[in-house]
Amino acid sequence: MSEKTCIICGDSKSLVYFYLNNKEPDRRNSSCMRCDNVIRKSNKKKREAKIKRDARRKPIKQELVLYKRRKPTKTIQKVYNPENIPLFMQYNHLIYKYVRKKYGLSFSKLNLLLFVFPLAPFSRKDFLDCRNVMDYHTIGLMKSFIDDNLFYVWSKPMKNSRVPTLYDLTPKAKLLVRQIHDWALGNEDVPEMNGEEALSLLARIRGV
């Protein structure tokens, strides 16, 4: 039986140890099966490594804006809100998502902040009552709000006084709540921006 020399390892082997290749004169690869398999595995590992490397380098597109207004559909007759219902709930989900990303708040903390806002200044007992009403039983929530610069001590009583310590929302928290209400009521437009502006704003928020 005819033999062929592998150009990789230099061994002379029978043609049955070479893959078929119609482009070669003897219709067999120039490298033997063993060397060919080693090369294929090596190339496969290189391709997988390149895919992982490119995935790490490619920036993840994170958009703070959640919505781009569409142009109204042109119809002969269009009736909006025939029952005169307030429409501020339309953008509720978008506003929540935007504020949570911008200020780094969880859904429960944002809900609790909005619930406590009308009570300020409030005591620790008021806060715990609100927490129980909303069924949030996380330990250390008050401390978490203070650490996040959302609450501060508004009034500290004298020793042996029965008046409790009172807390209030910080300017940051008040601005946050005011923005939510302005967007929901339509006093200000819901934030809109393209991908590049969203990424730059995200970078500024994170201090990158």
Q: What is the tens place of the pLDDT at every residue in 129-145?
A: 888 888 887 778 888 88
Instruction: Give the range among 13-17, 57-61, 83-87, 169-173 with minimum mean pLDDT.
Output: 57-61
The per-residue pLDDT for 171 is 92
Q: The tokens of 188 are what? A: 């200000």
pLDDT band of 35, cuts 50, 70, 90: very high
Q: Give the whole-angstrom CA distance, residue 208 versus residue 203.
A: 5
pLDDT one-digit tens code per residue, 177-191:
898 888 877 777 766
pLDDT one-digit tens code per residue, 46-94:
988 888 887 766 655 555 555 555 566 665 555 555 566 666 677 777 7
Q: Which fold has domain 88-206?
A: Arc Repressor Mutant, subunit A (1.10.10)
**Spans of all domains in the chain:** 3-57, 88-206
Name, in order, each residue with C-beta under 8 angstroms of 47's C-beta and a sequence gap of 6 or more: none
